[in-house]
Chain A
Amino acid sequence: MPLVKRRDFLKQAAVSAPAAIGFPMIVPSSVLGADGATPPSERITIGSIGLGRMGGGNTRSFLRYEDARVLAVCDVQESRREQLKNTVDQRYGDKGCATYNDYRELLARPDIDAVMIATGERWHPLISIEAARRGKSMYCEKPMARTVEEAMAVRAAVQRAGVVFQLGTMQRSSYYFRHACELVRNGKIGQLQTIAMASAGGNGSILPPEVPKDVPPGIDWDLWLGPAPWAPYSDQRIGLNWLEINDYGLGLMGGSWGIHEYDIAQWVNNTDHTGPISVEGAAEFYKDIRDTASMYDIEFLYADGVRAHMMDLPTARRRFWQFQHGRGEQRGYGDVLIGTEGWIFVSRESVKTHPESLMRTVIGPNEIRVRSSDHKRNFLDAIRTGRQPISPIEAAVRGESMCQMGDIATRLKRKLRWDPGKEIFPDDAQANSRLSRPMRSPWRLETPGPSRGA
């Protein structure tokens, strides 16, 4: 939270920060709040941490909003932060965007209200917890953590800091998914029975071995690894392959895509506050630099009898013919929601229903409505009003738990029971031992995790 008045800080920064040198003589009127624009003191100030594919895109998106201002960017890769700084400065017509290699320095700035976090899930928990401790609201890319324990620690930190947490599961803010959710929640397909989820995978490829090499200049490799086990630098590892390396995440059924569909399953089933009661499944794992699942077929059971299936797309198309509707689409991933009186296929590009008339059903105000059409706008509004955003912390934790449950069940190759109240596998030490991971020193979860089974 701001410990120093923002105007005082800006005054001081203008004198001392190298980034402020060369501040233009002509200041755009919008910066001063003329013509109905939000005055500077009322803008939500943002720092961006992690500027890769998602983080760079998110940062550029935040530049669109007149009532927000990106003040600083942070990445362990110098080229990325310089590139984003230029983009930000160009947008505002000044040289004011500060750059950081270490997220802790950015979070220490009292003049930053909120942060965008997109560093990869090995880092998300530590940065989120520190952000909460510093009173910053956060837009955190998915998935939020590498383990259930880490996710729970973030939840504890967010709740005790009273800040806003929005997970980057932006499908909740798209028309197609919103319409599907409203149809299901209002009983338009009868009683929901089955949720089928299709995510990336199923191609069984192998990559050539990685080629370790000296860390190139401009990259802080130790900070890139953070709490994950030490590993040598390689272009493959720092490239997109990290998404599918278990030291950093769960791969295709997690951060590479699966979390999006788990999130939708939980949302349409109105179980954001809880989760399934059992999980079983099978998977084939990559055996190259990647060691996460490449092909998978997992089944979850909810207490009310609803079954949820998470599959790679080819498997999904074999098991649920409705996924054929996504055939001409760029990816075809999505969900099939089957009720006693109809079904829905929903993806980023389309929604199909049976009966077909459901496509044009208007959900009235006296029915259940879930409304957000812009994920980042929704986040900014939540900060201003103190309301829960569309992808709040509890939903984030529960979605993450499903990713983890699926991974653990397929690695242990047996059916597991889950207690969504205690968030543990009851009487199953072997499975529970996989709900947490040690962190490379000196990193640790600042908010102690709960005692399991307490």
Chain B
Amino acid sequence: MIRRNATLVVFAVIAAAQAQSPAGRTMRPMAELEPVLAKIATFQHGQSRQELGQLMEFVNDSVSSQSQLRQIELRLLRFLESSATPAAKALVFDQLAFIATDASIPLLVSMQARPETAETARFVLERIPGPAADEALRRMLASATGNVKIGIINSLGRRRDRQSVAALEALISSSNRGITEAALAALAGIADPPALKALAAARTKLSGPLREAASEAYVACADQLARRGDKASAIRMYREMIAPQQSPGVRIQALAGLARLEGRNALPALTTAMHSKDRGEQASAIMFLDGIPGPDSTKAMVSEFARLAAPGQVRILAALADRGDPSAKQLVLAALKSNSGDVRAAGLRALGKLGDESSVIVLAEAAADRPAPEQDAARQSLWGLRGLKIDAAIVEAIGSRSGKVKAELIAAAGERGAVSAADALAQAVHDGDQEVQRAALRALKNVGGSGQVPALVDVLVKAATLSDRRDATQTLSAVLRRSQPALISMVIRAYEAIPTVESRLSLLEVMGQSSNDEALPLLRGSLKDPNPEIGRAAILALTGWDSPAALPDLLAIARSAPDPALKILALRGHVKLIALPSQRPASESARLLTEAMRLANEPAEKRTVLSLLPAYPCQESLQLAQGALGDESVANEAKAAVARIRIALQQK
């Protein structure tokens, strides 16, 4: 890939183009087109397309002037008649397609006769509005063969050319299957009475797959009639096509149309289709039934439920849940006792939509003791159950239940963000059951506030295992970041009071994640702690800071730490904090990065610095990147940085 700085567009040009109104845009003189076309004339695939781009620009710059577009059209037509290469003509066709008028038709028709230009000429012809292009296509249809003929049929169909119906009807009998199918599809698109008659006749004349194609075209024709407002004809055709002798595919398409047009009057047909032996037809029928609003379709689903096999029941339950009709709740509760695990899971999911506070215990128990698919469904439902009394019911149940059910209720409180459960959860972190404790600690991450900080600090410093300490650290960090006021002083006091290294490491991590400046003095002090683990944890905490406040500290360690590992750690943190959004001038960021580059010994750190430089486009950044060009280990990155900074400076 070649960098092309000179041709990079300065966005001022774009802005200027934006500012111009079409009326105010200055047309480029036609004379500018000539050298472009002269260069394109000899184009062969594989050569530069630079001029093609210029031709496209020229045409696009002219779109607001009809008179200029006409001049361009005539010029391009002359080009197509010239001795330019076929590849060049293909490029010109692309542009002509958007501006061609009736004036282009004679030449396009003549080019249609030549195999090398037949398709591209048709592409243009298909886009020209008006009856002259229709007529031209019809004339060409008679003499064309093979794929060219199919292309013309397709174009006539897309143009909805009613005058071609007789010719298309005749082509249904073609020995070329592709032509027959194209003619059927074109007639479906035209969809006027003669086309409809032709399709009806084709359904009786044809056999095998072509008959199926005719039937599908017939339904597609009904779709077109419906779009044009002839609903009565469309309904009559749909009813004809849902007959048992039709294939399931055709019946489904007709049922879709019927459901769309007739609504509840289509319920009997859809109910019948729900019991189809074809799984696809059954699934589609339930989907269409669900698309009909109102209690009648709910009633139809409920009444047919028992007669369906498990896959159908699963779909009905899902549909009933989304409809939100409480009259279906009894059915949903009954489904929880089904012999099929899939149906029970679907019932639990539906209960999440149709249930209320009385469903809390049912769902919690299912979440606690059912196998995976049902357990997952029950959990999701418990977490998503809507209503103003749900959280209160969960808090009450937390107080009265134990073991796995209690743990599920606690998890649900967390997932629901139920702040009203925070005190109950804070109590539960001291529960005798470890599973309950852990669930409470995790749930507090979402709902804990200032009131729970003391309890969480206590849990952290008393944590017996690494896993418990990790959970407590994460929860306390999250709660502190959310709490107003942030009680970081409590963490600092705990740190000072607790001599255990493991607890101290966790508390340092909490301070880092809180990014509260009140903790900075302690962290600075910890950098000098005789225990290297404490020093390392303090560096990591400063690295996690969400403001540049810790920059000087990290830079100092990067400069002077005796341990190379700590030096690299601090340097990475320093660079990370430089990259945080800030109001500092680009030159100041470049100065900080220059210092970082000076301290970097490893290619990885140097690459990070170079990758950041283009974000601060200024002469200082450019100099730093240029200075790294001679360093073999990062020369490629330096080259890329220089290019990007230059681009950014140009665009400034």
Contact = CB atoms under 8 A, between A and B. Distances in A.
Interface string A223-255: 000000111101000000000000000000000
A448 B185 contact: yes
Contacts of A133: 216, 249
A433 B101 CA distance: 13
Q: Kindly state the interface size class of chain A when it binds its partner.
A: 35 or more
B634 to A, nearest CB: 17
Interface stretch (A169-177, A289-297, A302-310): A289-297
A305 B255 CA distance: 40
Interface string A74-97: 000000000000000000000000
Contacts of B385: 365
A2 B188 contact: no
Nearest to A434: B98
Given A280-B18, A364-B417, A386-B318, A442 B11 contact: no
Contacts of B478: 360
B61 interface: yes
Contacts of A12: none
Contacts of B371: 36
B147 interface: yes
Contact of A442 (B47, B147, B160, B546): B147
A67 B543 CA distance: 44
A210 B283 contact: no
Interface in A295-353: 295, 297, 314-315, 317-318, 321-322, 324-325, 327-328
A175 to B, nearest CB: 14
A214 to B, nearest CB: 13
A451 B160 contact: yes
Interface stretch (B120-128, B163-171, B398-406, B461-469): B120-128
Contacts of A385: 314-315, 318, 346
Interface in B277-319: 278-281, 283-288, 290, 311, 314-315, 318-319
Contacts of A318: 11, 651
B45 A232 contact: yes
B417 A363 contact: yes
Q: Kindly state the interface size class of chain B when it binds its partner.
A: 35 or more
A413 B63 contact: yes
- The residue in B18, B48, B227 that gathers the most chain A C-beta atoms within 10 A of its C-beta is B18
A387 B199 CA distance: 35
B2 A442 contact: no
Secondary structure of the B contact surface, majority rule: helix
Interface stretch (B52-60, B450-458, B525-533, B592-600): B52-60
B157 interface: yes
B9 A448 contact: no
Contacts of B651: 314, 318
Given A280-B18, A291-B49, A328-B576, A2 B278 contact: yes
Interface string B611-652: 010010000000000000000000000000000000110010
A325 B311 CA distance: 47
Interface string B233-260: 0000000000000011100110111000
A93 to B, nearest CB: 23
B121 to A, nearest CB: 11
B25 interface: yes
B347 interface: no
A437 B189 CA distance: 16
A210 B45 contact: yes
Interface in A341-384: 356-357, 359-366, 369, 371, 384
B49 A287 contact: yes
A112 to B, nearest CB: 11
Interface string B53-76: 110110011011000000000000
Interface of B: 1-5, 7-9, 11, 14-15, 17-18, 21-22, 25, 45-50, 52-54, 56-57, 60-61, 63-64, 90, 94, 98, 119-120, 122-123, 126-127, 129, 147-148, 150-151, 154-155, 157-158, 160, 178, 182, 185, 188-189, 216, 220, 223-224, 227-228, 247-249, 252-253, 255-257, 278-281, 283-288, 290, 311, 314-315, 318-319, 322, 342, 346, 371-372, 380, 383-388, 390, 415-418, 446-447, 478, 481-482, 484, 546, 576, 579, 581, 612, 615, 647-648, 651
9 contacts: A160-B257, A161-B256, A282-B15, A297-B11, A365-B385, A413-B17, A430-B63, A438-B126, A441-B154
